[in-house]
Amino acid sequence: MQNNLFIYNTLSKKKEQFKPLHPPFVGIYVCGPTVYSHAHLGHARPAITFDLLFRYLTHLEYRVRYVRNITDVGHLENETLGEGEDRIEKKARQEHLEPMEVVQKYVNTYHRNMDQLNTLSPSIEPRATGHIIEQIELIKILIKNGYGYESNGSVYFDILKYNEKYKYGKLSGRVLEDLISNTRDTEGKDEKRNPFDFALWKKASPEHAMRWPSPWSDGFPGWHLECSAMSIKYLGEVFDIHGGGMDLQFPHHECEIAQSTAALGKESVRYWMHNNMITINGQKMARSLGNFITLDQLFTGNHPVLEQAYSPMTIRFFILQAHYRSTVDFSNEALQAAEKGFLKLMKGIESLKKIKPSDQSTFDIKGFREKCYAALDDDLNSPVLLSHLFDGVRFINSVLDGSEKIDASGLDALKDLFNTFVFDLLGLKDETTGAADDKLMDELMKIIIDLRQEAKNLKQFEVSDKIRKELNNIGITLKDTKDGVSDWEKNPL
RNA sequence: GGUCGGUUAACCGAGUGGCUAGGUAGCGGUCUGCAAAACCGUUUACGGCGGUUCGAAUCCGCCACCGACCUCCA
């Protein structure tokens, strides 16, 4: 169980070699969605980033437990101020649904979209509402340790107390004194001792539907608490990797660190990984800017900023073509380029089947393998991996052109490498409908191609060109080859 | 205002102190009856100004701009 994987740890701001705490086991916790509306483009990024990590660690023969939560309670509209309505409760009220109906509806679409993007299911997908007891127990510990205090039926985390012994803000580079001095309104307008204290438990107002009994009040848990409680439950007090979007660094992950550290007396997470954000035409994606795109809209093209539909694999390829710690900008131009590049990659792999091995090889298969692994080992550098794979595609095409050669064992190895890296690790898949598997279609095309060949032999090019043009109109491309035998393929949608 | 990250050729997007990233688009060529595909070649790349260095797009400083989160204001 050896690895050469380096990952960028947000905590140290450096690439560090990944050494699991208890090999061969690896524990990963990733912040999942709050299920109060459709999954959007922003959800695709962490899902694909950590899917790649999950696939790679599994490929390295680790036994990976990948936990990704579903937030179905406690995420308020204005989390920092601890004000505003619970997002799910609000949606339920607007749509006249039970909160759990809202949750079910959007969990379902989230799962469907994640399947479309070909992300593997996490090992465990725990929900906050399923772990109320664990959260209450964690609050009790925090109160006992002196870091939680009750106020009018709610319980808050005492940031100042925590900061005396530990350092609040180390993940996001914030200094508590600065945060406080930047806040002018510290008057006792609410139940907190300090405006940066965050809720562990909120007392529910009489009309609030989502409520559970607790020693302090009928209420509901604070947003940050679920991740601490569930990661401890399923991955242990100390675990390997915690992932999520960069936007969650502050305050969410900072609060998680504070809770877990205060409860356990030690650091819980060894490697923090954060994926960067997505922009659309250079702007951040926001409902107010009118460029908020759900995954369903993207896959159907049903949105004003979209010139066409983009397939799930086009999106996956596009996201993988950028490094996960860079922002990635969505535009029609960029997506169309990605679509073509992705098809080129798929066609190249398909072409592998046509290669006839020679008795010699002009390809350095060992060097190729090493470069591919080195790319992933370098903080999951998928764009560099893809650039190597495209070099491989050019080689494949050159073999078919006769300018390069590969022997039988090299060919097997090359096929194996493409399978491993493209399908198993990058998680891409061929989306073209299986034209070659359709017997009847094959027979029909053979007849048409034969007839066209006869026309060509008689130099009746108007006829042969017409056949080719008409076929192209219904989505079939004919390709004439040197030896006179025409090939055909279905056009991608 | 605070913290962090970024500014690379037509577009997207990697990267290293000196060696062609890659994809898409354009241009020229090979092949072809013509196409398509493929292959080969190609287009003022590294925000600005200083500094370190034999040598910097890559390190340091300053400036400009962009983004994220937070704050403020609405």
Give residue A82's Cα distance to chain centre: 28
Both A271 and A291 in a single domain?
Answer: no
A1 within a domain of the structure (yes/no): no
Counted domains in chain A: 3
Nucleotide of closest approach to A330 (CA, C1'): B12
Return d(Cα A351, Cα A125) in angstroms, integer.
39
Both A154 and A302 in a single domain?
Answer: no
- Provide the CATH number for the domain around residue A13: 3.40.50.620
pLDDT of A312: 95
Closest residue (CA to C1') to nucleotide B15 in the complex:
A384
Return d(Cα A134, Cα A154) in angstroms, integer.
17
Both A236 and A251 in a single domain?
Answer: yes
- Quick check: bond before A24 cis, omega within 30? yes
Both A262 and A309 in a single domain?
Answer: no
pLDDT of A187: 46
Question: What is the CA A121 to C1' B22 distance in angstroms?
Answer: 30
Both A352 and A442 in a single domain?
Answer: no
- Confidence class for position A186, pLDDT limits 50, 70, 90: very low
Amino acid identity for residue A260 in this structure? S
Mean of pLDDT values over A200-216? 92
Question: What is the CA A436 to C1' B28 distance in angstroms?
Answer: 36
Question: What is the CA A307 to C1' B26 distance in angstroms?
Answer: 22
Both A209 and A77 in a single domain?
Answer: yes
Mean of pLDDT values over A461-467? 86
A124 within a domain of the structure (yes/no): yes
Both A178 and A228 in a single domain?
Answer: yes
* Residue bearing the bigger pLDDT, A358 or A438: A358
pLDDT of A235: 96
pLDDT of A82: 55
pLDDT in tens, A237-278: 999 999 999 889 888 999 999 999 999 999 899 999 999 988
Residue that terminates a domain, selected from A275, A308, A337? A275
Both A162 and A254 in a single domain?
Answer: yes
3-state secondary structure A211-232: CECCCCCCEEECCCHHHHHHHH
Indicate whether A481 pLDDT > 80: no
Residue that terminates a domain, selected from A402, A425, A448? A425
Nucleotide of closest approach to A252 (CA, C1'): B69
Question: What is the CA A398 to C1' B55 distance in angstroms?
Answer: 37
Both A327 and A362 in a single domain?
Answer: yes
Both A251 and A288 in a single domain?
Answer: no
In chain A, the N- to C-terminal Cα span, in Å, equals 43
Question: How distant, in Å, are the alpha carbons of A133, A152, A262 from that of A216?
Answer: 13, 8, 20
Q: Can you tell me whether residue A294 is helix, strand or coil?
A: strand
Give bridge partners of residue A272 from the DSSP assignment: A242
Nucleotide of closest approach to A391 (CA, C1'): B22
Record the tokens describing residue A127, joined without a space. 């929900």
- Provide the CATH number for the domain around residue A312: 1.10.730
A430 within a domain of the structure (yes/no): no
**What one-character DSSP code corresponds to residue A253?**
I
Residue that terminates a domain, selected from A404, A425, A446? A425
Full domain range(s) for residue A457: 435-490
Indicate whether A189 pLDDT > 80: no
- Confidence class for position A213, pLDDT limits 50, 70, 90: very high
> Minimum mean pLDDT among A200-204, A230-234, A439-443: which range?
A439-443
Question: What is the CA A94 to C1' B22 distance in angstroms?
Answer: 48
* Residue bearing the bigger pLDDT, A32 or A12: A32
Both A90 and A183 in a single domain?
Answer: yes
Mean pLDDT score of chain A = 88
Both A185 and A332 in a single domain?
Answer: no
Closest residue (CA to C1') to nucleotide B30 in the complex:
A401
Chain B: nucleotides below 7 Å from protein CB are: 1-6, 11-15, 21-25, 31-40, 66-72
Indicate whether A190 pLDDT > 70: no
A483 within a domain of the structure (yes/no): yes
Mean of pLDDT values over A283-303? 83
Indicate whether A430 pLDDT > 50: yes
